[in-house]
Amino acid sequence: MCGIVGFVGQGNTKDILLAGLSRLEYRGYDSAGIALYSQPFTMVKAVGKLEELKKKVSASKDCQLPYSMGIGHTRWATHGKASEKNAHPHLSMHKEVVLVHNGIIENFAELKTFLQEQGYSFYSDTDTEVAVNLIEYYYRKDKDILKALFSVQKELKGSYAFAIMFQEDAKTLYAMRKDSPLIVGKGENAFYLASDVSAFLDYTNEIYPVENREILSLSEKEIHIYNKNGEEVKRSSTIAELSQRQIHKGEYLHFMEKEIFEQPKVVKDTLLYACNQENEEPAGNAENPKFSYEAFSMTEKDFQEISRVRVIACGSAYHAGWVLKSVCESLARVPVQVELASEFRYNHPILEKGELVISISQSGETADTLAALKEAKKLGAKTLSIVNVKGSAIARESDFVFYTQAGPEIAVATTKAYSCQLAAGYIFSLLLAKAKGKISKEETRSLTEELFLLPGKIQQCLSFDQEILPMAKELKDADNIFFLGRGLDWAISMEGALKLKEISYIHCESYSSGELKHGTISLIEKGSPVIGLLSQEELAGKSISNIHEVRSRGAKCFAIRMEDIAIEEEDFAHNLIVPKTHPLFAGSLLVLPLQFLSYQVSLLKGFDPDKPRNLAKSVTVE
Ligand code: F6R
């Protein structure tokens, strides 16, 4: 969702801000803007794609002047529709303060009333305009910038990362954050500020992470960081783990394509991460790898004490939770309940002693998941997060963390992070089964071995990139597509349907094969496309019967199946085969043709698969 950037120092401020915003496009937005320090501030805003803003900036004579400080923003509309008046930066009523904001001010209504009583009027529908005026209010009262920011910090409820400029101070960029990401980059005679390091990685990889409730002042040569008590904090810079290569598309047309192709590597990295923990004896060796409890920052005893598992997550991460459920219940015989994080708090949750709450999240920022996690903690549960972004809010909030090793995922539709979440779920289940004495040493060894064969098999599935094209061509004009599966296949079909609908805008639904006849089958008519997933030997017969039921009502059927699952090929318009693996891990292979199908259909329909309409990469609002 919203992305912020800031720059102060020697450099082409305008170009640096626009380049930073381009790097943050993946977060999702529907308007954008910049403010450059001048007297008065120079501001340009535009609705729609960043290209619109760039055009306006090029056309503005004022923007061509040299500037040494500025802020920028991509906005994903929450309070008020996408319009120029609601786009950031927002200017205070007396034009003394301008800021950009990522987050939500929860008590904005009462603060607005307070400010109105003080004579403030508002031009936008946003919560952010309330924040900028509150800052100005305290600033005019105290005549002290830092003091004003500390006063505002005490008043604001909700989440925010702000980059702020004051008319009074031509040389200092101010920032503050709570529960929204913010990172500082140190350049030569310059400082950068952004929601995400990728925004300035082309200029520097020397970074200062910013902690919750810290306030910063940045000038050409100096950085000052203050904690919530107003004390100055000394912090050394570090080098960002992210490399430039990771944030560029390289030879690929889209990030989604690049990220699908990265899956063999990142799944392997996740498996290896689970074996080799820093400061620990490396567990196992190349021939005989062993997963370690410590990878989850847990002990064997922690695992033994788990009596039930509750997974809370959203979207694809929620689908990964369903796979974890199947595998964990099968291997460890520990009951697992999977819940939508957005529903968890409102379902009067009952958590038992010994129940581990697992939140799964790529970004580690998803507001629904974070809120559910906080609720679980309030109810006394032990919490584990399976997260991709290091140090993210969800990781910090959890008792235990497992970091998937997907690296930065830029395409809005998740692919590689989802695959790593599946791998994390397998490893967790295996360790739980081992700790509970539910599987023998021999079984543990053979399942581990099988897991280490997965990256190679995922590699084989990359050939679906082209193989899927004929099927994609047949499906691209469909209005509705049905996905069917039983057990684990159903869990994967949910992900296949979501992937296709989110980037091709075709209505897709996944149904448990057995459930179809209880209502949905009435939707099947001549030519309705139905994609059947078939990877579970013992369920295949039943699933095939369900496919026959729709076929005999005119459906056009497609099969994606594991090698060795027998079907009557002539019953299917297309029949795609993934290599054989242990049935519990089959989802990691079935998902590849489904990802490629979505990607290709999106391309065939002329859409940009990396930036589907209305969607944001990190969903930081509830
Ligand atoms: C779909 C997708 C979303 C996310 C969901 C949760 O392709 O990416 O459904 O899975 O928004 O996001 P995270 O994993 O960041 O919590």
CATH of the domain at 555: 3.40.50.10490
Residue nearest to atom 10 of ligand 1 (CA): 316
Q: How many CA atoms lie within 13 A of 397 on its CB side?
A: 28
| pLDDT for 1 | 76
Q: Based on the fold, state whether residues 432 and 451 are members of the same structural domain.
A: yes
| Residue 226 reports pLDDT greater than 80 | yes
The CA 568 to ligand 1 mean position distance, Å, reads 36
Residue 277 lies in a domain: yes
Instruction: Give the bridge partners for 129, in sequence order.
Output: none
Q: Whose CA is nearest to atom 9 of ligand 1?
A: 315
Q: Residue 75: is its pLDDT beyond 60?
A: yes
Residue 588 is assigned to a structural domain of this protein: yes
Geometric angle at alpha carbon 259, from 572 and 276, rounded to 5°:
110
Q: What's the gap in Å between 414 CA and the centre of ligand 1?
A: 7
- Please say if the pLDDT value at position 288 is more than 80: no
- Is 46 touching ligand 1 by the criterion CB < 6 Å? no
Average pLDDT over residues 361-373: 94
Any atom of ligand 1 within 6 Å of the Cβ of 502: yes
Q: Of 461, 489, 522, which marks where a domain is finished? A: 461
Judge whether 439 lies within some domain: yes
- pLDDT tens digits, residue range 77-93? 888 888 999 999 999 99
Indicate whether 281 pLDDT > 60: no
Q: Count structural domains, the chain.
A: 3
At which of 405, 428, 461 does a domain end?
461
Ligand 1 proximity of 513 Cβ (cutoff 6 Å): no
* pLDDT for the residue numbered 246: 80
pLDDT of residue 619: 80
Residue to probe by mutation, ligand 1, list 366, 386, 403, most atoms within 8 Å of CB: 366
Question: Looking at residue 557, what is its pLDDT?
Answer: 97
Distance 497 CA to ligand 1 centre (A): 14
* 316 CB within 6 A, ligand 1: yes
Pocket flag, ligand 1, residue 419 (CB < 6 Å)? no
Nearest to 502 by CA among 428, 597, 403: 597
Query: How far, in Å, from the CA of 512 to the mean position of ligand 1?
Result: 22
Q: Is 348 left (phi over 0), alpha (psi -120 to 50) or beta?
A: left
Pairing between strand 190-194 and 206-209? Answer: unpaired
Say if residue 441 is in the same domain as residue 468. no
237 and 342, same domain (yes or no):
no
| 244 or 32, greater pLDDT | 32
Same-domain status, 431 and 554: no
pLDDT of residue 279: 40
Please tell me whether residues 298 and 409 are part of one structural domain. Answer: yes
* Residue 332 domain flag: yes
Runs of H (alpha helix) within 379-523: 393-397, 416-435, 441-461, 464-467, 469-475, 488-504
Residue range 36-65: average pLDDT?
96
Whether residue 559 sits in one domain with residue 414: no
Instruction: Report the pLDDT value the prediction gives residue 241, as an integer from 0 to 100.
Output: 81
- Structural domain of 547: 464-604
Residue 233: CATH number of its domain: 3.60.20.10
Residue with tokens 């001549």: 526
What is the pLDDT, as a whole number, of residue 605? Answer: 97
Q: Is the peptide bond before 209 cis (omega within 30 degrees of 0)?
A: no
What spacing in Å lies between the alpha carbon of 314 and ligand 1's midpoint?
6
Where residue 285 falls among pLDDT bands split at 50, 70, 90? low
The predicted-structure confidence for 250-269, as pLDDT tens digits, reads as follows 899 999 999 999 999 999 99
> What pLDDT was estimated at residue 286?
57
Calculate what percentage of the chain has a pLDDT beyond 70.
Answer: 98
Domain membership of residue 564 (yes or no) is yes
- Indicate which atom in ligand 1 lies nearest the CA of residue 417: 14
Region label for 304, one of left (φ > 0), alpha (ψ between -120 and 50) or beta (otherwise) = alpha
Same domain, 456 and 480: no
Q: What would the mean pLDDT of 583-587 be, rounded to a whole number?
A: 98
Average pLDDT, the chain: 94
How would residue 392 be classed by pLDDT, with cut points 50, 70 and 90? confident
435-466 confidence digits (pLDDT tens): 999 999 999 999 999 999 999 999 999 999 99
CA of residue 384 to ligand 1 center, whole Å: 18
33 confidence band (pLDDT: 50, 70, 90):
very high
Q: Determine the Cα–Cα distance for residues 229 and 235; give it in Å rounded to an integer.
A: 16
Among 35-44, 594-603, 608-617, the least confident range = 608-617
Q: Please say if the pLDDT value at position 4 is more than 80.
A: yes
482-494 pLDDT per residue, tens: 999 999 999 999 9
Q: CB neighbours of 436 closer than 8 A, spacing ≥ 6?
A: 303, 304, 332, 333, 334
Q: Which of 230, 247, 264 is the last residue of a domain?
A: 247
Question: Does the beta carbon of 370 lie inside 6 Å of ligand 1?
Answer: no
Which atom belonging to ligand 1 lies closest to the Cα atom of 415?
7
299 and 220, same structural domain? no
Question: pLDDT class for 244, splitting at 50, 70, 90?
Answer: confident
390, part of any domain: yes
Does the pLDDT of residue 168 top 80, yes or no?
A: yes
Q: What is the pLDDT of residue 284?
A: 56
The pLDDT tens digits of the residues spanning 467-525 come to 999 999 999 999 999 999 999 999 999 999 999 999 999 999 999 998 988 988 999 99
Residue 450 sits in the same domain as residue 484: no
Residue 413 in contact with ligand 1 by CB distance below 6 A: yes
**pLDDT value for 620:** 74
* Residue 303 shares a structural domain with residue 336: yes
Choose one of 316, 416, 510 to mutate for the ligand 1 pocket test, by most ligand atoms within 8 angstroms of C-beta. Answer: 316
**67 and 133 part of one domain:** yes
609 domain-assigned: no
317 alpha carbon to ligand 1 midpoint, in Å? 6
Write down the pLDDT at residue 280: 44
Q: Is residue 548 part of a domain?
A: yes
Q: Is 595 in the pocket of ligand 1 (CB under 6 A)?
A: no
For ligand 1, atom 3, which residue shows the shortest CA distance?
A: 315
Question: Where does the pLDDT of residue 287 fall: very low under 50, low under 70, confident under 90, or very high at 90 and above?
Answer: low
CB 528 within 8 A of CB 521: no
Between CA 486 and CA 498 the distance in angstroms is 17
Q: Residues 17, 72: contact at Cβ < 8 Å?
A: yes
Same domain, 503 and 452: no
pLDDT of residue 278: 44
CB 500 within 8 A of CB 597: yes
Active site residues: 2, 617
Atom nearest to 318 CA in ligand 1: 10
Q: What ligand 1 atom has the least distance to the C-alpha of 316? A: 10
Name the band, by pLDDT with cuts 50, 70 and 90, for residue 67: very high
